Amino acid sequence: MIRLLASLCVLSCVATVNAQSPLTGSGQAYPSRNVRIIVGLSPGGSMDVTARLVADRLKESLGQQIIVENRPGANGVIAADLVAKSAPDGYLLMLAGAGSLSIRHKLDMKLPYDAERDFAPVIHVVNLPLLLVAPVSLPVKSMKDLFALARARPGELNFSSSGVGSTTHLSAEMLATQAGIKLTHVPYKGSSQMIPDLIAGQISIAFDQITTAKPHVATGKLRALAISTAQRSKLMPGLATIAESGVPNYESISWNGFVAQSATPRAVIDRLQTDIHKLIKAPDMTERLAAIGGEPVGGTPEQFAALIKSESVRWGRLIDQLGIKPQ
């Protein structure tokens, strides 16, 4: 009798766990093994740090190890292709931004995957506001000054970016288009390379993430002219938005979110979304994300899908309008 009761107890516990756990395509409860997060950039940047912050907490709620793998190269195409062709079981996720999900396919029609069909949005994790900064040697102290100087010297002022088709590139092109000014683009391979030239005055202006640009603003090497978000950021509440500074309706953000392979079961997507939303909204996680210039967002897979689509339409329209080509 004791053995029978013990067996029934075990079966009841297993049934309870299975009832609470979503199933993968193989019929196994999720997760039953380690989960991998792919990041298409090198270690150390804000996306990589975000992935590792989430992974550290997600392992507690999922009860499995979460392994972050960096697969840099080809502007995120290598990482995205790996996830697009992975098994649809929720064990391989990608933390990606607008470049991989909303921009790259508008620039390059020869991608090895379909950005609009091969990924299932899971959750919008974080927004990373962009600062518009200038060297202190440039004779401007406001957006009004910048516009006046640019109109007096059309094409002479330049801007740097982290590469053709990057969010920092398109943000500046959109600013020039909406403000009716002419600027010359000088692409770099990353923020770490362009900042020294910006400080030295070889570059007139640049958009960059808060975590990279703010320290140089604090030491007086760069001047912050405005922030790119529609509303003022809690990270720098004293800095006016570009929309407030003479370009109505201007908004540009850098953002990161999780996607899985498109055929991943909805129950698995929902489990991941629920757990990640809860952990990024925790007060201590909000503080950690703020330290890298991020603002946690969260929300449903449908809301993230809507963002990806709207960004794709907006940036695609600008790319077509200006005839921007990949390099």
pLDDT digits (tens, 9 = 90+) for 123-152: 999 999 999 999 999 999 999 999 999 999
**Quick one: pLDDT at residue 293?**
94
Euclidean distance between CA atoms 9 and 149, whole angstroms: 77
Instruction: Find, among 97, 132, 116, the residue nearest to 297 by Cα.
Output: 97
Residue 4 predicted with pLDDT over 70? no
Euclidean distance between CA atoms 299 and 72, whole angstroms: 28
Say how many CA atoms lie within 13 Å of 60 toward its Cβ. Answer: 7
Euclidean distance between CA atoms 14 and 271, whole angstroms: 18
Q: Around Cβ 184, how many Cβ atoms within 10 Å?
A: 12
**Quick one: pLDDT at residue 19?**
42
Ordered structural domains, the chain, with CATH: 25-128+254-322 (3.40.190.150), 129-252 (3.40.190.10)
**Quick one: pLDDT at residue 15?**
41
| Phi (first) and psi of residue 134, to 5 degrees | -140, 155
Euclidean distance between CA atoms 34 and 31, whole angstroms: 7
Using alpha carbons, list the distances in angstroms from residue 252 to 46, 125, 184, 234, 320.
Answer: 17, 16, 19, 16, 18
Mean pLDDT of 258-272: 98
**Tokens at residue 102, please?**
């909303």
DSSP H or E segment with residue 181? none
CA dihedral 51, 57, 62, 67 (to 10 degrees): 40
% pLDDT > 90, the chain: 85
**Quick one: pLDDT at residue 227?**
98
Residue 165 predicted with pLDDT over 70? yes
Instruction: Find, among 228, 239, 250, the residue nearest to 131 by Cα.
Output: 228
> Which pTM was predicted?
0.90
**Tokens at residue 64, please?**
């499995």
